C-alpha cells in the first residue's frame, strides 16, 4: 500500500515537472523575434502579437502546408489554448493570467511559422545553387 502511494505521488510530481518544463520551453521559443513577413501574412498590425492573433496564425499555418514542419498542426498548442481560454472565462480571477498565457502561445506559433519559413527559404536557395 505504501508503495502505491509513493508511486502515485512520484507520478504526480513528475507530471507537474513535465508541465512546467513544457511551458518553459514554449516561453523560451516565444521570446524569439517574429519577422515582418509572418506578421503581414497573418494580418497582424499591432506591435506585439497578442492572444487575439492566435487564430490568424493558425489560419496562416493551414494555408501554407509546406511550412508545417515537425509541429505542423499545433494540436497540443490548440488544445492548451482552448483550455486556458475556457479557464479564463470561467474563473474571473485567472483572466489576466489566461490572456498572458494565450499571448505567449500566439507568439510561440508565430515564431515556429517564421522558423519554418526561414528553413524553406534556405532550402530553396540551396537548391538553386546546385
Q: Would you tell me the crossing angle of helices 2-30 and 95-129 to the nearest 10 degrees?
A: 60
What's the mean pLDDT when you consider all of the chain? 88
Look up cell 500500500; give the residue.
1
Question: With bands split at pLDDT 50, 70 and 90, how would you rate the model's confidence at 45?
Answer: confident
CA–CA distance, 111 with 13 (Å, rounded to integer): 30
pTM of the model: 0.84
Residues 6+ apart with CB under 8 A from 29: 108, 111, 112
**What's the CA gap between 56 and 34, in Å, rounded?**
14
pLDDT at residue number 60: 84
DSSP letter assigned to residue 93: G
Digit-coded pLDDT (tens) for 54-76: 999 988 888 876 655 555 568 89
pLDDT of residue 18: 96
Q: What is the pLDDT of residues 11-36, one digit of tens each?
A: 999 999 999 999 999 999 999 999 89
Judge whether 60 and 113 are in contact, CB under 8 Å: yes
Amino acid at each position: 500500500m505504501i508503495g502505491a502511494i509513493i508511486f502515485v505521488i512520484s507520478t504526480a510530481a513528475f507530471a507537474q515537472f513535465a508541465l512546467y518544463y513544457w511551458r518553459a520551453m514554449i516561453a523560451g521559443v516565444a521570446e524569439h523575434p517574429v519577422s515582418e513577413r509572418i506578421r503581414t501574412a497573418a494580418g497582424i498590425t499591432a506591435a506585439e502579437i497578442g492572444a487575439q492573433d492566435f487564430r490568424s496564425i493558425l489560419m496562416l499555418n493551414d494555408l501554407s502546408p509546406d511550412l508545417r514542419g515537425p509541429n505542423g498542426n499545433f494540436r497540443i498548442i490548440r488544445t492548451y489554448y482552448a483550455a486556458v481560454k475556457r479557464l479564463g472565462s470561467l474563473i474571473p480571477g485567472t483572466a489576466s493570467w489566461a490572456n498572458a498565457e494565450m499571448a505567449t502561445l500566439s507568439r510561440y506559433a508565430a515564431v515556429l511559422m517564421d522558423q519554418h519559413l526561414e528553413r524553406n527559404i534556405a532550402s530553396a536557395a540551396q537548391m538553386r545553387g546546385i
